[in-house]
Amino acid sequence: MDQLKNHSTLPGSVRPLGFYVNGSMRDAGDRETLVREAPGYLVPVSEVTLCTTSDVDDAVAAARGAFESGAWSRCDAAVRATALLRVAAGIRERLDEIAYWETLETGKPITQARAEIGDAAGHYEYCAGAARMLHGETYNNQGDQMFGVVTRQPTGVVGLITPWNFPFIVLAERLPYILASGNSVVVKPSEMTSTTTLVLAEILAEAGIPDGVYNVVTGLGPVVGQAMSVHPDIDIISFTGSTATGAAVLQATTSNFKKASLELGGKNPQIVFADADLDAAADGVAFGLCFNAGQCCVSGSRLIVEDAIAERFTEMVKEKLARVKIGECLDPDTQLGAIVSKQHHEKILSYLELGTKEGAAVALGGGECEGLSGRYIAPTVLTDVQPNMRIAQEEIFGPVLTVTTFGDAEEALKIANDCQYGLAASIWTKDIDKALTLMRGVHAGRTWVNTTIAGGPGQPMGGFKQSGIGREGGMLGIEEYTEVKSAHIAIGQRTNWIA
Ligand code: NDP
């Protein structure tokens, strides 16, 4: 296809998407479809199939069948490791194509998309090694007549519900970890961004992952996602998205007491002390705000800055933000991309209106970017923000920074923690005591000191409070998807109960 050869221009036609069950791509048939418009260009690019609950049943049956066959669930870890390495190689081979579609459907800048796809391959490589490392425990401390063993085994069928902001990398932060121990999977991508999840099906098949281990059911959350959440033959749900939908999913999983792993919203503080490297901190704050146009669960959207430098530092951040390159998503120079949907665009604008009503001042931006073909919002800085205002408490999910000030470390921590969320936090200071005290005290599953939105596959991620349950990534991310079994093994002659 033309568009696969040329990744710098818009596709010449709309790409029809099927869904993937038991190793086969199925057409939409007589199912309804939905046309996806590229948010950066407002032209149609793909057409997604709206699957039904019976498609979910088929996919779950395929996943269960594959699991029970043992072809993946009981094979040598070396086989899994080899296949996962092949997946990583396949992703790298098709990096341009995957990044292109990710950019078209999400509106993120192409350079960022390319980096994400490369990072995604890294997760499969990490899990290839980790698959071989996964092990249980032995207890050789129970006397001559007893030996204890704890094993880990794959749980079964995992339902994976992913969001529109990072379709491929969020999948990569979960799928290889789920596959590493031998589980089977049914994935539901957001209906806005399904293409790359389906491209991955081809890569997994070519890598030798058996049919039925990976299935993709596209469509709407309230139909497909809901059917997965209540499905009696799904053992775990992994959900990434909003806290409100996460709560509905959690409620639905109680129908068969599924395990649930939820990564939800965040309102993440950027705490900047007067003794920080202020240029680096301003750069980090600008990046943490603009990354994925702020449509990022770990976006650093709450600047909490020490009184003494607040005015100067806010000016420094504004100066950095004014230089952010906003533009065509496919232009390699673009740093800030488009907003994913009309509905979300309006939601961000409504928060800007609310901010003014609540008494905040617009120090930079404050609305749409003119002169671009898609839906863009300018990096925005709101000052005179009190910590209890809705704009400082709720997830806006756009490039909107609220600025609040503090007097000392204790107050900074109080403001940072006075929030329903607890996903991520960044601390900027040269003082190691302050850095460690704040890192320990802040309510967040991911913390950064003198950097932001950094890290790779090795360390777990997840949220405190209403930001989620469970952890993804690292060895913990693999263990989340295993069942633990305890065995006591008697040695020698039994001392009989009945003499
Ligand atoms: P949702 O939380 O509604 O969507 C996330 C995923 O859940 C999508 O695949 C969605 O499918 C699916 N879903 C929706 N309803 C259900 C349901 N009843 N049962 C199971 N799955 C369901 O996010 P939105 O797209 O509506 O975004 C709303 C807000 O959520 C954003 O403004 C942002 O604040 C936050 N958000 C946070 C994310 C994060 O990374 N933490 C990611 C995305 C959003 P479908 O798209 O088909 O509805």
Assess whether 46 and 80 both reside in one domain.
yes
Strand order in the sheet with 214-216: 24-26, 19-21, 214-216, 184-188, 157-161, 236-240, 259-263, 468-469
Assess whether 218 and 274 both reside in one domain.
no
> How far apart are alpha carbons 416 and 443 in whole angstroms?
8
Distance (Å) from CA 215 to ligand 1 centroid? 20
Assess whether 107 and 198 both reside in one domain.
yes
pLDDT digits (tens, 9 = 90+) for 39-76: 999 999 999 999 999 999 999 999 999 999 999 999 99
pLDDT band at 5 (very low <50, low <70, confident <90, very high): very low
Assess whether 75 and 208 both reside in one domain.
yes
In a domain, 242, yes or no: yes
Q: Structural domain tally of the chain?
A: 2
pLDDT at residue 7 above 80?
Answer: no
Assess whether 211 and 344 both reside in one domain.
no
Please give the pLDDT value at position 6.
54
Reading the block at residue 49, the tokens are: 């199939």
Contacts of 48 (CB under 8 A, 6+ apart): 17, 33, 34, 36, 191, 194, 218, 219
Please give the pLDDT value at position 1.
40
Distance (Å) from CA 244 to ligand 1 centroid? 8
First to last CA, the chain: 80
In a domain, 298, yes or no: yes
Segment 363-385 mean pLDDT:
95
**Count of alpha carbons within 13 angstroms of residue 141, beta-carbon side:** 3
> How far apart are alpha carbons 87 and 90 in whole angstroms?
5
Quote the radius of gyration of the chain (alpha carbons, Å).
Answer: 24
Q: What is the CATH number of the domain that holds 138?
A: 3.40.605.10
**CB neighbour burial string for 400-410, b if at least 16 within 10 angstroms, e if fewer:** bbbbbbbeebe
Residue range(s) defining the domain that contains residue 53: 15-264+467-485
In a domain, 455, yes or no: no
Report which of 413, 419, 410, 414 is spatially closest to residue 392, judged by C-alpha positions. Answer: 419
In a domain, 293, yes or no: yes
pLDDT at residue 192 above 90?
Answer: yes
> How far apart are alpha carbons 60 and 43 in whole angstroms?
34
Distance (Å) from CA 53 to ligand 1 centroid? 18
Please give the pLDDT value at position 128.
98
Report the atom number in ligand 1 closest to the C-alpha of 397: 34
Report which of 7, 27, 4 is spatially closest to residue 17, judged by C-alpha positions. Answer: 27
In a domain, 40, yes or no: yes
Q: What share of the chain has pLDDT > 70, as a percent?
A: 99
Pairing relationship of beta strands 157-161 and 269-272 according to DSSP bridges: unpaired
Please give the pLDDT value at position 449.
98
Decide which of 404, 422, 449 is a domain's last residue. Answer: 449
CA-nearest residue for atom 3, ligand 1, is 245
CA-nearest residue for atom 10, ligand 1, is 221
In a domain, 24, yes or no: yes
pLDDT digits (tens, 9 = 90+) for 126-167: 999 999 999 999 999 999 999 999 999 999 999 999 999 999
Assess whether 107 and 252 both reside in one domain.
yes
Output the CA angle 47-213-83, nearest 5 degrees. 105
Centroid of chain to Cα 50: 23
CA-nearest residue for atom 9, ligand 1, is 190
Assess whether 226 and 288 both reside in one domain.
no
Whether 284 contacts 316, CB under 8 Å: no
Whether 341 contacts 165, CB under 8 Å: no
Reading the block at residue 421, the tokens are: 């969320």
> How far apart are alpha carbons 79 and 452 in whole angstroms?
36
Assess whether 212 and 76 both reside in one domain.
yes
CA-nearest residue for atom 30, ligand 1, is 242
pLDDT at residue 2 above 70?
Answer: no
Please give the pLDDT value at position 3.
43
Please give the pLDDT value at position 8.
75
Question: Which residues have CB under 6 Å of ligand 1?
Answer: 161-165, 188, 190-191, 220-222, 225-226, 229, 240-242, 245, 248-249, 264-265, 297, 344, 347, 395, 397
pLDDT at residue 207 above 80?
Answer: yes
Count CB neighbours of 344 within 10 A.
20
In a domain, 460, yes or no: no
Segment 396-400 mean pLDDT:
98
Segment 370-374 mean pLDDT:
88
Report the atom number in ligand 1 closest to the C-alpha of 219: 47
Report the atom number in ligand 1 closest to the C-alpha of 264: 41
| pTM for this prediction | 0.96
Average pLDDT, the chain: 97
Segment 415-430 mean pLDDT:
98
Assess whether 376 and 356 both reside in one domain.
yes
Please give the pLDDT value at position 371.
87
> How far apart are alpha carbons 427 and 306 in whole angstroms?
12
Q: What share of the chain has pLDDT > 90, as a percent?
A: 97
pLDDT digits (tens, 9 = 90+) for 260-298: 999 999 999 999 999 999 999 999 999 999 999 999 999
Report the atom number in ligand 1 closest to the C-alpha of 263: 41
In a domain, 43, yes or no: yes
CA-nearest residue for atom 35, ligand 1, is 242
Segment 95-106 mean pLDDT:
98
Report which of 267, 243, 283 is spatially closest to residue 428, judged by C-alpha positions. Answer: 283
Q: What is the CATH number of the domain that holds 428?
A: 3.40.309.10
Distance (Å) from CA 17 to ligand 1 centroid? 21
Of 170, 173, 242, 391, the residue with max ligand 1 atoms within 8 A of its CB, to mutate for a pocket test, comes to 242
Assess whether 70 and 160 both reside in one domain.
yes
Assess whether 257 and 277 both reside in one domain.
no
Assess whether 39 and 80 both reside in one domain.
yes
**Active-site residue set:** 263, 297
